[in-house]
A and B are shown apart, each in its own frame.
Chain A
Amino acid sequence: MSSSNLQSPIPEPPVMPAEVTIQRSTSFRDDALRRFKKNPTAIFGLVIVILFLLLAIFGRQLTPFDPFAQNIRNAHQAPGGEHLLGTDFFGRDVLSRIIYGARISLFVGVSVVTIQAAIGVVVGLVAGYYGGKIEAVMMRLVDAFIAFPGIILAMAIMAVRGQGIENVIFALSFAGWPTFARLVRSEVISLKEREYVQAARGLGFHDAKIMFKHILPNCLATIIVYATMGIANPIIAEAGLSFLGLGATSEQATWGFQMSLERQYMRTAWWGVTFPGLAVMIVVLGFNLLGDGLRDVLDPRMKE
């Protein structure tokens, strides 16, 4: 807004100290890093994310028990004791199953968001850059995609293609890219009037070169922030699909799949569904916190 902070009833520190500002913005990277370090919730988010990444990478070495070793006599042991988070109906260690599941969860989250962002970036760039009829057609298509509830779209695709994590990734990528397209398009529209883009056009650069070399890098901060927060969506969606039996297979044993198995025993063995769900929540919380922190750091003006 155009008016200065000075006149606001909730004044920010008045009088922007010129010298101090100049010192501070000498390096955007240093500045961003400093702001990130000052943000305890963002650090907390980062710690959660790193922790789960480590679980995903070294999962098999870290599991206290074989996540697939069945022992019916050991079924539904309560948490505490030998099995920290208890055992499931087949006597498998819940903690080991959760650690094992981290890999698939994160893999789904990261790969789906990557694909969504890739599609969204191309559509958004082209629509925003060319405008006119191309934009109108592409954005109506985006509107049509958004009109379908993502999870139902994914369920329908799963119903056609069958269970399995590859299909989950396909189905979820199919459903989530329009948000990226809208995001990138609105960025491009505001960027393409800038002088350097105009200059590049004036110099007769190829459209594709202008889009990818001059416009895209300037949208990256926004895309990264949104993608980080966006990882949460496919993780929750995968859990939901698997919970409904339309996601992972029994060999893939994700958190959602584990919950769908244990759901019927919830009355007697509450830990069976509680802990895998908690794992979903914590990792999603981690990405949300990290995304919030990145937003504050990379683009303080950006709003939800």
Chain B
Amino acid sequence: MQTHLLELKDLTTEFSTPDGVVRAVDQVSFYIDQKETVGVVGESGCGKSVTSLSIMGLVAHPGKVKGEIRFDGKDLTKLSEREMRRIRGNEISMIFQEPMTSLNPVYTIGNQLCEPLRLHQGMSRKQAWQTAVEYLALVGISSPEKRVAEYPHQLSGGMQQRAMIAMALTCNPKLLIADEPTTALDVTIQAQILELMKDLKEQLSTSIMMITHDLAVVAEMCQRVIVMYAGRVVETAPVRQIFREPGHPYTEGLIRSIPKLHEKEQRLYEIKGVVPNPLNAPKGCKFNNRCEFATDRCREAEPALLEVAPGHEVRCFYPRHGKEVAQ
């Protein structure tokens, strides 16, 4: 068996709150291979962002991370804070949803870009500045020598996100976690940013974990998809497979709710209800209160994540496509 770049095994992240323990991530297992782009999809509150913070080791008090996070042969959960710092921004880096608020308003772009270079690559101030300019050019920012000395608010939203991407890539990370990188941007800018990420991925051979609620982004960017619901992985499959034959009713709902240009649907489909409160999630399958196919069995027991086709796993008693497997 080949070794994966990143492999999560039963990752569980809990927060103790005054009202009880909240399991934001519940026994999540998946992997990402080298040079692979994997989409992690779900509604807000499904645990996808907490998963990424768990990988980065940035879950703060009162959060607790259990399980295994294998990255490049090491279990990240076992590393000390000091060892973890050497990985963050160096081997794994991250870009976020809101470029405007994710850049520090009181320091120049250059100053912020130089930090990982000086920290992880031990560059001199001058070298780092030079490299920062090069990376700004790489992400398609015009007149980078000028932009590098500017403050974040002087850049447009799209430019800011480009700068964030440049900052994440400065140390040639093996894995880039992109947490809704285009959600806060205008549609035209979104397309540009996605295009840029695709280009850079080819050039730099970085793996990408693409966190999004937008399946259109997944179709554009990813090879494989992991669908999460209420802290659980409910389906994982190659991208083409999942659009053609979604197994989980939830995935099917997500796909049906993508606006399509060529089909004249009167109303956009929407999945009824909301993600359950983790403190009183329904018994059995967590999706049963929103699922139009739910039976008594779904309300009694929770199905396991089982393979319905090669590389395609579904957590459902009655998968919509693929063979029904004995649970």
Asked if A and B bind, the verdict is yes
Q: Are A3 and B101 in contact (CB under 8 A)?
A: yes
Report the nearest A residue to B18, measured CB to CB.
A13
Residue in A4, A11, A18, A19 with the greatest tally of chain B CB atoms within 10 Å = A11
| Separation of A245 and B61 alpha carbons in the complex (Å) | 55
Pair A14/B277 contact, Cβ less than 8 Å: no
Partner of A11, one of B44, B59, B179: B59
Chain A neighbourhood of B50, CB < 8 A: 6, 11, 14
- A2-B98 in contact given A13-B15, A15-B275 (Cβ < 8 Å): yes
Contact of B22 among A1, A13, A19 (CB under 8 A): A13
A-contact 0/1 string along B267-306, CB 8 Å cutoff? 0000000110111100000000000000000000000000
Is A10 an interface position by the 8 A CB rule?
Answer: yes
Q: Which one of A3, A7, A10, A18 has the greatest number of beta carbons of chain B within 10 Å?
A: A7
CB of B101 within 8 A of CB of A17, answer no
**B98 contacts across to A, CB distance below 8 A:** 2-3
Contacts of B263 on A, CB cut-off 8 Å?
A: none
Mark out the residues of chain A between 1 and 31 whose CB falls within 8 Å of any chain B CB in the assembled complex. Answer: 1-4, 6-7, 9-11, 13-20
Point out the residue from B53, B59, B101, B179 that lies within 8 Å of A1, measured CB to CB: B101
Report whether A7 and B53 are in contact in the complex, using a CB–CB cutoff of 8 Å.
yes
Given the known A-B contacts A7-B53, A7-B96, are A15 and B278 also in contact in the complex, defined by CB atoms under 8 Å?
yes
Does the CB pair A9–B275 fall under 8 Å? Answer: no
Q: Tell me the bound Cα distance from A78 to B265 in angstroms.
A: 91
B97 CB contact (under 8 Å) in A7, A9, A10, A14? A7
Cβ of A1: which chain B residues have Cβ within 8 Å of it?
101
Residues of B within 8 A of A19 (CB): 277, 280
B326 within 8 A of A: no
Assess the B58–A9 pair: CB atoms within 8 A.
yes
B15 touches A11 (CB 8 A): yes
Q: Which of A156-198 contact B (CB under 8 A)?
A: none
Q: How far is the CB of A187 from chain B (nearest CB, A)?
A: 25
Known: A10-B60, A11-B60. A2 touches B101 (CB 8 A): yes
Which residues of chain B have C-beta atoms less than 8 A from A11's C-beta? 15, 50, 53, 59-60, 63
B77 smallest CB distance to A (angstroms): 17
| Interface pair A17/B49, CB less than 8 Å apart | no
A7 and B63 contact, Cβ closer than 8 Å, known pairs A15-B277, A19-B277, A20-B19 = no
Contact B45 A14 (CB under 8 A): yes
**CA distance in complex: A290, B63 (Å):** 32
Any chain A CB within 8 A of the CB of B266?
A: no
A87–B10 Cα distance when bound, in Å, is: 74
Chain A residues with CB below 8 A from B96, complex form: 3, 7
B246-279 interface bits toward A, Cβ cutoff 8 Å, 1 = contact, 0 = none: 0000000000000000000000000000110111
Complex: chain B residue closest to A3, CB-CB: B98
Contacts of A4 in B (CB 8 A): 44, 49
Residues of A within 8 A of B58 (CB): 9
Q: How far is the CA of A174 from the CA of B4 in the complex (A)?
A: 74
Contact partners of B63 in chain A: CB under 8 A: 11
Most buried by B among A10, A13, A18, A19: A13
B49 contact from A7, A10, A13, A20, Cβ within 8 A:
A7
Within 8 A of A (CB), among B84-104: 96-98, 100-102
Measured in the bound complex, the distance between the Cα atoms of B280 and A88 in whole Å is 66
List the B residue with the shortest CB-CB distance to A7: B49
Residues of A within 8 A of B61 (CB): 10
Chain B residues, Cβ within 8 Å of A3: 96-98, 101-102
Instruction: Give the docked Cα–Cα distance between A7 and B280 (Å).
Output: 23
Smallest CB separation, B251 vs chain A (Å): 20
A18 touches B97 (CB 8 A): no
What string of 1s and 0s marks CB contacts (under 8 Å) between B34-47 and chain A?
Answer: 00000000001100
The residue among A3, A4, A15 with the most chain B CB atoms within 10 A of its own CB is: A15
Q: B278 — which chain A residues lie within 8 A by C-beta?
A: 14-15, 17
A4 to B97, CA, bound (A): 10
| Contact among A7, A13, A18, A20 for B179, CB-based, below 8 A | A7
B24 in contact (CB, < 8 A): yes
Instruction: Select from chain A the residue with minimum beta-carbon distance to B52.
Output: A7
Min CB gap B227→A, angstroms? 17
Interfacial residues, chain B to chain A (CB-CB below 8 A)? 15, 17, 19, 22, 24, 44-45, 49-50, 53, 58-61, 63, 96-98, 100-102, 179, 184, 274-275, 277-280
Between A and B, 25 residue pairs with Cβ closer than 8 Å are: A1-B101, A2-B101, A3-B96, A3-B102, A4-B44, A6-B24, A6-B45, A7-B49, A7-B53, A7-B97, A9-B58, A10-B61, A11-B15, A11-B59, A13-B22, A14-B22, A14-B278, A15-B22, A15-B275, A15-B278, A17-B279, A18-B274, A19-B277, A19-B280, A20-B19
Beyond A3-B101, A11-B63, A17-B279, list 8 extra A-B contacts (CB 8 Å).
A3-B97, A6-B49, A7-B53, A10-B61, A11-B53, A13-B17, A15-B278, A20-B19
The 3 A-B pairs of least Cβ separation, nearest first, read A17-B277, A13-B17, A15-B45
